[in-house]
Structure 1
Amino acid sequence: MTESHEPSAAAEDKRHLRTIKSFVMRAGRMTEGQQRGLDLGWPKFGLKLEDGAQDFDAVFARQAPRTFEIGFGMGHSTLEMAAAAPEQDFIGVEVHRPGVGALLNGLMTQNLSNVRVYSCDALEVLRNCVADASLDRVLLFFPDPWHKARHHKRRIVQPAFAELIRQKLKIGGVLHMATDWEAYAEYMLEVMNVAPGYQNMAADGHYVPRPQERPITKFERRGERLGHGVWDLKFQRTI
């Protein structure tokens, strides 16, 4: 009997998570405010992937509940959450520079100090900069659904993603996801329901009502008026 050299499913998941990006880099024009954010806000609030593992208690100069947000877009929700919970700390990651500049400008405008920002791949930050069992929450709001079947491999929510997040969450920590694509919500549910070490926090084992701490975006309000749905999923690390 010969030994198989085919990669295991877990190994394939990890390889895909490393090599297949869930986002597309887009060039965008900077507004004056966004450029101001990058020029003046980055030295105050920016963190670099190449600096490696961080002691976030030292970064924020305190111990506090810590939220990690993957892909904050233009930063509107991040700003609202940080302003509403000054006793908590937030680490936001976004690849698109105009959004990074917008968030940094907002932090300065609102005089907030409980947010730090990375401008790179969030999964690389999690692997290289965040200690295991150190996060209270991970947020993934409205990721690209990659709705065509041939692009599903690009979806960020994969078994290896679930395991990486589980490692970084504290026991009892929560992964909160939201999407306005029902098919993607169903896919997320399928992945997370079989992911080891998690418990679905929905009473019916499906979706939770929109939590008050997740801000409603302008896009979401417009969608609600048109009858579009939004699905929230919360999974808690158990082991």
Structure 2
Amino acid sequence: MTDFKDTSQSPDRSPDKSTGRQLSENSPPIKSFVRHHGRLTDGQRQALTEYWPAFGIDFTKRRMDMGTIAEKKYPQVVLEIGFGNGESFITIAKNHPETLFIGAEVHRPGVGRALLLAQENACQNVKIIAHDAVEFIEHMLPDNCLDRVQLFFPDPWHKKRHFKRRLVQPHFCRALHRVLKPDAIFHVATDWVPYAEHVVDVMASLAGFSDITNNPKEKPSYRPETKFERRGLKLGHEVRDLCFKTVK
């Protein structure tokens, strides 16, 4: 079982892993999360022990055999980065049993909650990695293995001096391009319009992606409304859904 020690983060935002710099050999490693301490309920703690063998993926620095992890019965594989409390993640998986959904999250209560929901809803098409998504992508995912990557409501890092910490940066998107299949989708949802503009600018600067967003104010039918999204809407925030297709 994965060691959950020192892997907690805020449940409200998807992890934002990037420092935004082009890394040199002496640069510190990028992390996909900011550590916060969360309190586990008894049910979440129990789920981490009892349900991890069924749904969990233990981190290693070896490429996964996607044929084995998908059990050769799921024609599509989707990765969600930072699923928070797991409610929308499990809802999508329940609604699309023909697709394998892999969720990356380091917040322990969120992982425990997702495990509970997966068990309660008998979602056999769910796998969870409780580790830094950047390292998971770099070390474990083989080339051309994903049909979609979902990044829903990442921390927008509002202040200009923190822009470098935003996840969507050129080097991260190039890493995504490696693991996405041809014509696969990178779907970003945000309730912070300046962040949406940042995403569009970054993606436009890269070869290998085509912006296929028709109406950023229109939510794709497969994405359920999230708890954080509802909170943002009550505050008057405008939600944007952006989709980019890989060109290979």
TM-score by length of 1: 0.89
Identify the residue that residue 99 of structure 1 maps to in structure 2.
Answer: 110
Runs of 5+ consecutive residues of structure 1 not aligned to the other structure = 1-9
**C-alpha RMSD over aligned residues:** 2.1
Contact 1:20 1:153 in 2 (8 A): no
In the aligned structure 2, how far is the partner of 1:101 from the partner of 1:69?
16
In structure 1, C-alpha distance between the alignment counterparts of 2:147 and 2:232, rounded to whole Å: 30
Counterpart of 2:218 in 1: which secondary structure?
coil
Does the 8 Å contact 2:31/2:134 carry over to 1?
no
**TM-aligned CA deviation for residue 182 of structure 1:** 0.9
User: Whose helix fraction is larger, Structure 1's or Structure 2's?
Assistant: 1
Number of corresponding residues: 228
- What is the percentage of aligned positions where both structures have the same residue? 42
Partner Cα distance (1:14, 1:171) in 2: 29
The 5 A counterparts of 1:1-239 are: 12-13=22-23, 19-50=29-60, 52-64=62-74, 65-203=76-214, 207=216, 209-239=218-248
Q: Secondary structure at the match of 1:19?
A: coil
What amino acid sits opposite 2:94 in the alignment?
Answer: A
> Structure 1 20/129 Cα, relative in aligned 2: closer, same or farther at 3 Å?
closer
Which one-letter code corresponds to 1:58 in the other structure? T
1:115-137 Cα offsets, whole Å, 9 max, x none, are: 11111110111111111111000
1:161 aligned partner, one-letter code: F
Higher-Rg structure is 1
Structure 2 Cα separation of the partners of residues 16 and 110 of structure 1? 46
Indicate the SS of the match to 2:60: helix
How far apart are the structure 2 equivalents of 1:26 and 1:212?
A: 32
Gaps of 5+ in 2: 1-19
1:170-224 deviation per Cα after TM superposition (whole angstroms, max 9, x unaligned)? 00000000111111111111001111111000237xx362101111013323433
SS of residue paired to 2:149: strand
